[in-house]
């Protein structure tokens, strides 16, 4: 593996889909820069799985929506090394009907998904442009493709990220940087643990929730040499629900 293809930066990677992506990319041969906000124990468990694949794991605890924290964590690292892969996975939901939604619930969701994408990607893509190489994969959602009642903030954030994916792909394609998104449907993670499974399953053609590993495998494909002519696309991993 060439020198500029050895590092993958994964945000929000201490658990769930992010953890599965970090572990899979490590087994694909990448050292991992593992971002998370505060769950040190969970992040350490993922790091142990990364090292079990024979790769190095650098833990980077910072809030992707905090500009000072992002620059403090990444600027010196990027001065020395450039990740070949950036996975923008950090995010969370704060559901509720819009008529009762607080400004905080609206803004905090947009801050993490959109501001977090902007702050992290701006720093990394500047280095990728100099290297003329890189892959960026944004984790979006079926909520951003179709809209979901009770998730106006989350759907707006993910839809915005879909638009950003397509625009950035057009900007950087001439420098051989590919930008895509993966849109999971209902995946078995902490975020879906309290959902009414009996009501949701009949709406899914495959009649089951997906696994985090199935999302990670799609990301792995987009980061591989099998996806060299794919950019600006949204790859759905949703059991046929959309």
What residue ranges in 92-217 does DSSP mark as E strands? 134-139, 177-184
Tally helices (H) and strands (E) across the chain: 9, 7
Q: Are 58 and 29 in contact (CB under 8 A)?
A: no
Task: Report how far residue 153's alpha carbon sits from residue 208's, in angstroms, rounded to the nearest whole number.
Answer: 26
Task: Report how far residue 161's alpha carbon sits from residue 133's, in angstroms, rounded to the nearest whole number.
Answer: 22
Q: Which residues are catalytic?
A: 154
Query: Which residues have C-beta within 8 Å of that of residue 112, sequence separation ≥ 6?
Result: 64, 65, 90, 91, 92, 157
- Partners of residue 60 on adjacent β-strands: 35
Task: Supply φ then ψ for residue 218, to 5 degrees.
Answer: -65, -40
Q: Are 21 and 89 in contact (CB under 8 A)?
A: yes
**Distance, C-alpha 54 to centroid of its chain:** 23
């Amino acid at each position: 593996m060439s020198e500029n293809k050895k590092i993958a930066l994964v945000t929000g990677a201490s658990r769930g889909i992010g953890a599965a992506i970090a572990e899979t990319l490590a087994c694909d041969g990448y050292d991992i820069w593992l971002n998370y906000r505060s769950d040190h124990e969970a992040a350490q468990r993922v790091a142990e799985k990364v090292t079990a694949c024979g790769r190095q794991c650098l833990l980077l605890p910072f809030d992707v929506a905090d500009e000072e924290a992002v620059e403090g964590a990444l600027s010196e690292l990027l001065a020395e090394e450039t990740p070949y892969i950036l996975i923008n996975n950090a995010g969370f939901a704060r559901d509720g009907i819009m008529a009762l939604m607080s400004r905080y619930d609206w803004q905090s969701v947009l801050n993490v998904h959109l501001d977090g994408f902007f702050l992290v990607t701006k720093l990394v893509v500047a280095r990728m442009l100099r290297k003329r190489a890189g892959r960026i994969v944004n984790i979006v959602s079926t909520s951003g493709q179709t809209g979901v009642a009770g998730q106006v903030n989350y759907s707006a954030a993910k839809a915005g990220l879909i638009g950003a994916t397509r625009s950035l792909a057009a900007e950087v394609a001439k420098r051989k940087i590919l930008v895509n998104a993966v849109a999971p449907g209902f995946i078995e993670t902490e975020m879906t643990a309290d959902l009414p499974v009996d009501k949701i399953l009949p709406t899914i053609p495959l009649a089951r929730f997906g696994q985090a590993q199935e999302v990670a495998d799609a990301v792995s494909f987009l980061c591989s040499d099998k996806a060299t002519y794919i950019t600006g696309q949204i790859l759905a991993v949703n059991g046929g629900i959309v």
